[in-house]
Amino acid sequence: MKNLEGGCACGAVRYRLSSGPMFVNCCHCQDCQRQVGSAFAINAIIETDRIEVLSGETAVSATPTDSGRPHDVYRCTACGTALWSDYGRRRVLSFLRAATLDDRNALPPDVHIFTRTKLPWVVLPEGVPAVEVYYDMDRLWPAESLARLGALLGG
């Protein structure tokens, strides 16, 4: 695995991933569009304990969602950059904002989700699965990633 490090816009928070993520979603839902101020968010799904904060501090902000489910965003306390999220307050599973990595090209999406609200000028790449809402994890996730998720969530 290549060295996966990243940080916030001001440089106060630096982090390192101790492994690659389980899976990477490119989410085109309206919540993500609103939260990141762009056409989509690229979220690398990883165990929270595999995100090692090297410097700086983060603060949690509860973010409203269309579904009403809890969504906590971890941000740099100095500049407010969103670094990772906890959907559903599971605490053990994080959605790392892949564009905060130093190498923004390191984790290309494994799937495009919520394409029903994709902006019409976004062109999806050929060869990458795309679904209108969500996908069948058992079909798309690698067996190793499913095992990691099962161990994490006790299933």
pLDDT tens-digit readout, 107-146 = 999 999 999 999 999 999 999 999 999 999 999 999 999 9
pLDDT tens-digit readout, 37-68 = 899 999 999 999 999 999 999 999 988 777 77
Q: How many domains does the chain have?
A: 1
pLDDT tens-digit readout, 18-32 = 999 999 999 999 988
**Domain that includes residue 95, residue range:** 5-153
DSSP 98: G
Residue 104 maps to which CATH number?
Answer: 3.90.1590.10
pLDDT category at 1 given cuts 50, 70, 90 is low
Note whether 135 and 114 are within 8 A (CB): no
Q: Give the pLDDT score at 65.
A: 72
Question: Mind giving me the DSSP string for 114-127?
Answer: -GGG--TTPPPPTT
**H or E stretch covering 140:** helix 137-140
pTM (2 d.p.):
0.91
Q: Give the pLDDT score at 87.
A: 86
Residue 88 CA to residue 66 CA, distance in Å, equals: 13
pLDDT tens-digit readout, 69-108 = 788 999 999 999 999 999 888 899 999 999 999 999 999 9
pLDDT above 80 for 10: yes
Q: Which of 134, 82, 91, 107 is nearest to 24 (CA)?
A: 107
